[in-house]
Amino acid sequence: MAFIDGTVVNVALPALQHDFGASLVEVQWVVEAYGLTLAALILVGGSMGDLFGRRRVFVCGVVLFAAASVACGLASNIYHIIAARAVQGIGAAFLVPGSLAIISASFDEGGRGRAIGTWSGSTAITMAIGPVLGGWLIEHLSWRWAFFINLPIAIVVVAISLWHVPESKSSQTGRIDWWGALSGTIALTALVFSCTESSRLGWRHPLILGTLVAGIVASAAFAWVEARCPEPMVPFSLFRSRAFTGANLLTLLLYSAIGIAFFLLPMNLIEVQGYSATAAGAALLPVILLMFLLSRWSGGLVDRYGARLPLTVGPTIGALGLLLFSVPSVGGTYWTTFFPAILVLGFGMSVSVAPLTTVVMNAIDQDRVGIASGINNAVSRIAGLMAVAVFGAVMVAEFGNYMNRQLAQETLNPEVRAELRANEAMMAAMQVPKGVDAQTAAAIESSKQHAFVFGFRVVMWICAALALGSAAIARLTIPGKARAKPAPPN
């Protein structure tokens, strides 16, 4: 459910933007509201699973997620969707860490790599179906059905969980670190708000400066609380493990790149390249199919070669795929424009995901698998959250600068020029002002499409650099395969 939701919602964003006349900032909040509550509470969700039962907390998360999905589908404006998405993130915070914790509690270290690989493949099945089915529903029915499809899935998930999944919890007793959750939530909310709204208000606006300072202060408070709490939700002692620290740094960089790339790509395909919602969803299939087909194989790479090699090679291949996204302009067939990039990125992610998860789960004691899973999931969610906020602002700025340079050569009256500047945050969804002649309208339409492509290229270059940085971290921090000790002489 959690994996399918991200892919479907990204495909639905252009339809939401069109129906509600939303700016990029408002569309960003549809993604950010979900990511904020998920990232802030996923550690609490992991701890609650360890303390109260992983299956119990998992099932509660599924039910809440489904209810919020229905609320999203019934929303009457963009702000209702944003609020319901925040509740949906709370449900996801309980179900996401629970799934991996249940698997880790059910398999020993020797079989955990392939078990996690199977888990990755299972999620890939729904990820493959989700964008295509969601795109078809958006195109032929409504974007609302992109949320409603979570309800039947939830019913099946709850039934299977209660029937087949064994209950497990930590042998240690403890309590929830609510002060850490509160300070962490305030810090994330303030930082994301300042980065997201900076593209609309500017960095010098008092509200932006104030929330930025508040985010920094709350971050310091979070660190202070966690260092002194007897049972913190982020035990700093876990980061004494070089492998655990390296894996989370790798996750931060790699998932930042993937998060903003998959946020912007459906907009490029639908609003610039002219793809239907169904075609845009299908365009991402190679990534998902590769992860499904290669997941068990990549999970076994850790057993054969150790984690360092796949976690160095995989992100490097992914960086090449992200660079290839910067090649297409406007027009051209899918097979010669986006397919090569999607294929290479999909292979790079296939090599990376299962070994990365295995490293995280093997780096700590099994009584702490819930919190370890929660930390790594939180890092991946925070990565996507901050990437959409920061690089979304970069995208808007590059779009506006390029379009203004292009239109400087056109003869536009001041009212038209002012209207275009005021609507820059809508980017490719921007409407051509009324009253302009056909030739000027065509020039504006062309300028906004090429401006989007230019901004998209800049962001893809940054993403490729982030992926290469994650490969370097893996090379420096992740252990290789342990060599067998030579037999003692007779």
pLDDT of 131 over the 80 cut: no
Predicted confidence band of residue 339 (pLDDT cuts 50, 70, 90): very high
pLDDT of 484 over the 70 cut: no
> Which one of 185, 215, 232 terminates a domain?
232
Residue 223 structural domain: 177-232
How many Å apart are CA 292 and CA 266, to the nearest integer? 21
pLDDT tens-digit readout, 212-250: 899 899 989 988 988 888 777 777 777 878 888 898 999
In a domain, 289, yes or no: yes
Same domain, 87 and 196: no
- Average pLDDT, integer, range 390-412: 81
pLDDT of 487 over the 50 cut: no
What is the model's pLDDT at position 163? 87
Cβ(204)–Cβ(162) under 8 Å? Answer: no
pLDDT tens-digit readout, 435-453: 777 777 788 788 888 889 9
pLDDT of 164 over the 90 cut: no
Same domain, 41 and 97: yes
How many Å apart are CA 163 and CA 166, to the nearest integer? 9
Same domain, 395 and 290: yes
CA 273 to chain centre: 23
| C-alpha dihedral (258, 261, 263, 264), degrees to nearest 10 | 180
Provide the residue type at 458 as one letter: V
Query: What CATH number has the domain bearing residue 348?
Result: 1.20.1250.20
Same domain, 210 and 122: no
- Average pLDDT, integer, range 179-183: 84
Same domain, 216 and 241: no
In a domain, 429, yes or no: no
Cβ(28)–Cβ(283) under 8 Å? Answer: no
pLDDT tens-digit readout, 46-69: 777 777 788 888 899 999 999 999
Same domain, 327 and 258: yes
Same domain, 201 and 239: no
- Average pLDDT, integer, range 271-289: 84
Same domain, 144 and 10: yes
In a domain, 484, yes or no: no
Q: Which residues of 71-91 are buried (b: 16+ CB within 10 A; e: fewer)?
A: bbbebeebeebbbbbbbbbbb
In a domain, 428, yes or no: no
How many Å apart are CA 9 and CA 263, to the nearest integer? 9
- Average pLDDT, integer, range 164-183: 75
Most confident among 87-91, 94-98, 484-488 (mean pLDDT): 87-91
Same domain, 58 and 69: yes
Q: How many domains does the chain have?
A: 2
Most confident among 399-408, 429-438, 448-457 (mean pLDDT): 448-457
Which sign does the torsion angle of CA 43, 46, 50, 53 carry?
A: positive
Cβ(252)–Cβ(383) under 8 Å? Answer: yes
pLDDT of 2 over the 80 cut: no
Predicted confidence band of residue 207 (pLDDT cuts 50, 70, 90): confident
Q: Which two tokens stand for residue 284?
A: 């991402």
pLDDT tens-digit readout, 367-383: 666 667 778 877 887 88
> Which one of 202, 232, 262 terminates a domain?
232
- Average pLDDT, integer, range 57-83: 90
Distances (CA, A) of 395 to 281, 380, 434: 22, 21, 26
In a domain, 97, yes or no: yes
Helices 369-407 and 242-267: crossing angle, nearest 10°? 40
Distances (CA, A) of 187 to 216, 220, 463: 7, 9, 24
Same domain, 220 and 258: no
Same domain, 83 and 227: no
Q: What is the mean pLDDT of the chain?
A: 82
pLDDT tens-digit readout, 308-325: 888 999 999 999 999 999
In a domain, 443, yes or no: no
Most confident among 42-56, 92-106, 142-156 (mean pLDDT): 142-156
What is the model's pLDDT at position 368? 67
CB count in 10 Å sphere of residue 452: 26
* Range of lowest pLDDT (11-25, 218-232, 336-350, 474-488): 474-488
In a domain, 312, yes or no: yes
In a domain, 391, yes or no: yes
Please give the share of the chain, as a percent, with pLDDT higher than 70.
90
- Average pLDDT, integer, range 106-133: 72
pTM attached to this predicted model: 0.79
Same domain, 357 and 384: yes
